[in-house]
Amino acid sequence: MKLLTGLVFCSLVLGVHSWFSFIGEAFGGARDMWRAYSDMREANYIGADKYFHARGNYDAAQRGPGGAWAARVIR
């Protein structure tokens, strides 16, 4: 129990201000990744996938810790 309490406390101190904002950022980051993927499919241009993946990762990471986590998981 002390370990769980310590992990929650450390995560709050290290930049996750609240779990609700983290979850909201994660969903927003996933939405950014999906939007980049949809744009890539719509563009239908060979060789442009690196650009769209990088754009999706950047947009997701700009949301905060939750968005950066989503970008790492989805990439």
Q: What is the pLDDT of residue 11?
A: 65
Task: Put residue 30 in one of left, alpha, beta given phi > 0 → left and psi -120 to 50 → alpha.
Answer: alpha
Angle at 45 between CA 40 and CA 49, to 5 degrees: 50
Which domains, ranges and CATH numbers included, belong to the chain?
Answer: 22-74 (1.10.132.110)
Angle at 30 between CA 26 and CA 34, to 5 degrees: 170
Over residues 30-52, the pLDDT tens digits come to 999 999 999 999 999 888 889 99
Residue 25 vs residue 20, higher pLDDT: 25
Q: What is the pTM of this model?
A: 0.71
Residue 15 vs residue 5, higher pLDDT: 5
Contact 29, 61 (CB under 8 A): yes
Amino acid identity of residue 33, one-letter, is M
d(CA 33, CA 74): 8
